[in-house]
Structure 1
Amino acid sequence: MKRVVVDPITRIEGHLRVEVNVDEATGKVEDALSSGTAWRGIELVAKDRDPRDVWAFVQRICGVCTSTHALASLRSVEDALKIEIPKNANYIRNIMHSCLDAHDHIVHFYHLHALDWVSPVEALKADPAKTAALQETVLKTYNLSGLEPAETQSTTSAYPKEFPKGNATYYAAVQGKIKKIVESGQLGIFAAQWWDHPDYQLLPPEVHLMGVAHYLNILDKQRDIVTPHVVFGGKNPHPHYIVGGMPCSISMDDMNAPVNSARLAVVDESIALAKDLVNYFYLPDVLAIGQIYAKAGMVDGGGLSKKRVLAYGDYPDEPYSGIQNGDYFKKCLVRANGVVEDFGLGVDKAKFIPLEGEDLMNPDFLSEEVEHSWYEYPDGKKTIHPSEGVTKPNYTGPKTGTKEHWEFLDETKKYSWIKSPTFKGNACEVGPLAKYIIVYTKVKQGIISNPSWAEQMIVKQIDTVSSVLGVPAHVWMCSTVGRTACRCLDAQVAVNMSQYFFNKLVTNIKGGDTAVANTKNFDPNTWPKEAKGVGLVDAPRGGLGHWCDIKDGKTSNYQCIVPTTWNACPKTIANEHGAYESNMMDTKVKIADKPLEILKGIHSFDPCLACATHLYNKKGEKIISVNTDAMCK
């Protein structure tokens, strides 16, 4: 048995360490632990703030998924104060959310995850002419653009399609660039990988060349996907919002207005580009790679997804009156709110457990544990509901080594800066895979009797991919390949969401409605003395929840359970592993010292952990800066 440590996991947001015990004879991972190595502490920053400003602070939790935390925060405050936003604000927020979903998924695959599948070294063996021919075959075989429903067709777009460049001359030129990089020994963006790992031999060289070419192509295109953030929110990352709606006024007559006909045309063009990048680059690439892995029987890494997944649902079609009262869930186009257990046995054997508005404030449904986390709860409590959450650090250090220089962490005690959230005392996986499992189960079992266009599209996507891969849904979905594929499918739904809500926005403006904010309860004098709210978003990485307590016009307590808290958490009190740890224990490793399969599995979740921690004393003076990235000096 060999203990293997990967620290830090690169190509993620934040700092993550994993340790696995591998049986070198069989490649089986006998045990695994996941450790978030930085303390977030943003909840303490939010405490005693004006609730109208908190979204701007907590949005800085992440520099990648940016606006999802702002949206969750806004929804929590609006839920507490019973504020209903105008139609235009709802449409605009959904456009911003969906374009962020698409951008996050595309950037994740090409620039954080793709190099787990394709290699620049293998690309040097490719025939450029054969790669061009492969490109055409892939576009014909794996083009799922026909699944887009009538509700999401553009009524205004006249922009030319963005297709992959596919001739032999182009691929020869890309191969020449790669050759210079490899021969120089300065791999740059392609550095720090085990290019001699046998998994890279599974794909033909032409797939590697096509993948690396698209990596470079998307690097240039991706920035235009988030243009709606700039138009509606003023900037990206961290666009602007306002409690009660949006800060961008609308005028079709004033060319200096934040939102006018010219700027709407820019949003329209951005949405058209995003749809093309998903349909003609992202989807074909993922399915072409996935089919080869599926045929080789490499569909491991499902882990906790086979056993239990959770999602909240999202994209309210129209404004809603609240989340706790359940109206939010009635309005959502993707009604994924709930938990599905045992999907790995087949969709007919899966069990659905609903998660409704009032359940979100019930500790019998949702809670957080710190048994294996570097925190402590008062009065000897073992578990606390997030609305009553406490963020008090209790760092104990590793099992061997020192508190500053770890050798091995102690899996029997505390070993992570991440808490362990649970649903009815059990760990859950969240993310696009979880959302897809829940919607698929609810529709197939008739729990959703009248599916929305988005829910119908999700079911069609899954059934189509099952046919393409030649593998049943519960087999390919519950795997590292399936987790990566469902993220890609989610991007396709997201770009269609952008188009759908853009169409609704334009129609509403044409009808004479230009309201973007409801300021009726903006004045603190109109607020109750005490109020509690919850804000939900099915973010790119999964279910995101923010809980806020407001007392005497200030946030008396603020807690977040982010998707990576669910997935990267340490073991629960019941000794159940979280999603990362379960994934690693369900993954075979060919070479213990080069655990590419472990990186591939962890990257399939798109980890997003907090960055290096900075602590300040009461005078605002910096007392220490802790950096857990060995590459930073």
Structure 2
Amino acid sequence: MKHIVVDPINRIEGHLRVEIKVDEATGKVEDALSSGTAWRGIELVLKGRDPRDAWVFAQRICGVCTTVHALGCLRAVEDALGIEIPKNANYIRNIIAASQMVHDHIVHFYHLHALDWVSPVAALKADPAATAALQNTVLEKYSLKFEGPVSFATSAYPKDFPKATTAYFREIQNKIKAIVESGQLGIFAGHYWDHPDYNVLPPEAHLMAVSHYLNMLDRQRELVYSHLVFGGKNPHPHYIVGGMPCSISMNDMNAPVNTERLALVDTSINLGIDLVNNFYIPDLLVIGDLFVKAGYVDGGGLAGQRVLSFGDFPEEHYSGVANGEYFKNLLVNSSGVVENFSQGVGKASFYPLEGKDLSDPNVLAEGVEHSWYNYPEAGKDLHPWNGVTNPQYTGPKEGTKTNWKYLDETGKYSWIKTPKWNGKMAEVGPLAKYIVVYTKVKQGIIQQPTWAEKLMVEQVDAVSKLLNLPPETWMLTTVGRTAVRGLDAQLSAYINKYFFDKLINNIKAGDTTVANTAKWDPATWPKEAKGVGLHEAPRGGLSHWVTIKNGKIDNYQAIVPSTWNACPRDGKAGYGAYEASMIETKVKIAEKPLEILRVLHSFDPCLACATHLFDKEGKEITVVRTDPYL
């Protein structure tokens, strides 16, 4: 039995360590441990602050999934204070969220996850002419395009297509060759390029994918222009409790939102549709097809047992979240839990997740059995509104507190708490969202699906037909988790267009209101209030929980998607999603666990990047400058 430690896991947001025990004879992972190694502490930073400012701090939980925590926080505060936002604010927030989803998924696949499948070294063996031919074949065979409620045509003529010429791929190959021969691989350094899994794809597929890696480096920034126009910047666009801070005028060319800037947003949205349809989806499907045919159908982990989703994209404004109104108005009504999807959609069990469930400690709670925190009553889980963030670092099983060898799987080993639904673990993410909607539609639970929900079912059925496999076979794998993220990007690109169309029509009708400030004054607030904000972020179900007393935040808790997925095990509930997926993944070479990196990256881990450390006097400990010119 080989004990392997990978620390840190690279190409993720934040700080993650994993340990696995591998039977070298069979490649079977006998046990796995996932540890979040940095403490965020935002909950304590927010305590005692003005609720109107909370989104600014909460948004800094992450710098990659940027806007999502602001949105979750805003919804929580507005839920607590009974604030309804105007139509335009709802549309704009949905546009910002959809833009983030497209951007996040594209960056994740090409710049964080693709190198688990694709090798720049293998690309040197490719024939540029054959690569050009492959590119055309991929576009014809693996493109998925659908109709929607508004025209998804991106412009007068197609603009963003992959290049498919021999000369282009020869130039890309020469650039890669010069980097490899220099011995300075830069961003491609320190990887298992000799791993046999890179032989699954032909060299031409490697060259094609590396060229798209470079294409997306150049174009990805243009996908978030909506953040600049409506929120002033990216990352971390601006908001306001009650709506948005951007005024709208079709006559004043100096207004934050005018015809010129709306045209810029439209161009950005159209670009997102083109990049997803012409690059992302075809690349995903050809890679996935080849890997599935080669027998790579492991890594499903917890997904086949239990998934959870909250749903998102309110069609219109709503009166609250905790009162259940949020769930009645969703374009993507994926709220709920599905168990046993591995048995097929007909035998899967669906459980609703409604407003009344949000306040029930028996339905949603967090435990700290294996987390570096201390609860008032040992062994008792706490509902997020009553959550306690009291750090209790105990160190490793072997090594010192500052130089770990092995963590203690029988004790505390992670800065991540363990969230539970009805006392059970659940996986969240795009895969979970799609499993819930697919089950609800196929079982008739959703009798009149929205255009978005119909599209999700059509996407799953189209990929099932392409792979000649039922959904429960291909979806519950590392390949499936990765592929569904691409389907989610396509869905989000179309949702972006849909809400932009609604915004334009509403402005044309004469409505330019973007904020409701009727309850801006704390004198209008109740003495005590509590609220929850939900968002289906790129990495899955996100919830922010706030309690307010005498105009200040009394308690704040955020259960992020990676809390659900990266959490440590629980004595009663079993393994979390990361740990379960690693245990279900076979490893060919224990010292080069590429398969483990691949399955973890399929979740798009997003741990605490915005970790700020202070001494007990509140002074900054140190600042590390990475830019030599500062």
What TM-score, normalized to structure 1? 0.97
The alignment status of 1:148 with 2:131, answered yes or no, reads: no
Deviation at 1:189, TM superposition (A): 1.3
Secondary structure at 1:378's aligned position in 2?
Answer: coil
Alignment partner, residue 578 of structure 2? 580
List aligned pairs for 1:401-550, cutoff 5 A.
401-550=399-548
Amino acid at match of 1:194: Y
Matches of 1:381 and 1:553, distance apart in 2: 33
Q: Percent of aligned positions with the same letter in both sequences?
A: 68
Deviation at 1:92, TM superposition (A): 0.3
Q: Which of 584, 609, 612 is equivalent to 1:611? A: 609
1:22 maps to: 22
Given that 1:36 and 1:418 are in contact with CA atoms closer than 8 Å, whether structure 2 keeps it comes out as yes
Paired position in structure 2 for 1:105: 105
Separation of aligned partners in 2, 1:185 and 1:623: 37
> Within 2, Cα distance between the matches of 1:61 and 1:106?
21
Name the CA distance, whole Å, in 2 between partners of 1:587 and 1:183. Answer: 34
Aligned amino acid, residue 38 of structure 1: A
After TM superposition, give the deviation of residue 148 of structure 1 in Å.
3.3
Q: What's the counterpart of residue 595 of structure 2?
A: 597
**Is the deviation greater in 319-328 or in 246-255?**
319-328
Please name the residue that 1:571 is paired with: 569
How many equivalent pairs are there? 626
Instruction: Tell me the SS of whatever aligns to 1:99.
Output: helix
- 1:225 matched to which residue of 2? 223
* Secondary structure at 2:52 match in 1: coil
With over 3 angstroms needed to count, the CA separation of the structure-2 counterparts of 1:190 and 1:626, relative to structure 1, is closer
Q: What is the CA-CA distance between 1:575 and the residue it aligns to?
A: 5.2
Counterpart Cα distance in 2 of 1:560 and 1:612: 14
Contact 2:94 2:499 (8 Å CA) reproduced: yes
Q: Deviations over 1:482-507 (max 9, x none)?
A: 00000000000000011000000000
**Aligned-residue offset at 1:157:** 4.2
CA distance in 2, matches of 1:152, 1:587: 42
Q: Distance in 2 between matches of 1:210 and 1:525?
A: 61
- Inter-partner Cα distance in structure 2 for 1:588 and 1:67: 36
Match of 2:241 in 1: 243
Give the letter for the 2:112 counterpart: L
CA shift at 1:270, angstroms?
A: 0.2
Q: Is the 8 A contact 2:423 2:573 kept in 1?
A: no
Check whether the contact 1:46–1:57 (CA below 8 A) recurs between aligned residues.
Answer: yes
Question: In the alignment, residue 288 of structure 1 is paired with which amino acid?
Answer: V
Shift of 1:381: 5.0
SS at match of 2:51: coil
Partner Cα distance (1:89, 1:526) in 2: 22
2: CA distance, partners of 1:140 / 1:556: 57
Q: Pairwise mapping of residues 314-393 of structure 1 onto structure 2 (< 5 A)?
A: 314-393=312-391
Amino acid at match of 1:122: A
Aligned position for 2:169: 171
Contact 2:22–2:590 at 8 Å: present in 1 too?
Answer: yes
How far did 1:257 drift? Answer: 0.2
CA offset digits 1:88-128 (Å, max 9, x no partner): 00000000000000000000000000000000111001000
Q: Which residue of 1 aligns with 2:552?
A: 554
1:575-631 C-alpha deviation (Å, 9 max, x unpaired): 50000000100001000010000000000000011137433246432347899x9xx
d(CA) in 2 for partners of 1:618, 1:204: 56
What does 1:32-181 correspond to in 2, within 5 Å?
A: 32-145=32-145, 147-151=146-150, 153=152, 157-158=155-156, 160-181=158-179
Partners of 1:224 and 1:22 in 2: how far apart? 43
Q: Is the 8 A contact 1:157 1:268 kept in 2?
A: no
Q: Does the residue aligned with 2:240 lie in a helix, a strand or coil?
A: coil
Report 1:148-297 matches (<5 A).
148-151=147-150, 153=152, 157-158=155-156, 160-297=158-295
- What RMSD, in angstroms, separates the aligned Cα atoms of the two structures? 1.4
Distance 2:379 2:623 in 1: 31
After TM superposition, the runs of 4+ consecutive aligned structure 1 residues lying more than 4 A away are 623-627
What TM-score, normalized by structure 2, do the two folds share? 0.98
Give the Å deviation of 1:382. Answer: 2.2
Is this contact kept in 2: 1:75–1:534, CA < 8 A?
yes
* Alignment check: 8 A CA contact 1:308 1:339 kept: yes
**How many angstroms apart in 1 are the aligned matches of 2:504 and 2:149?**
17
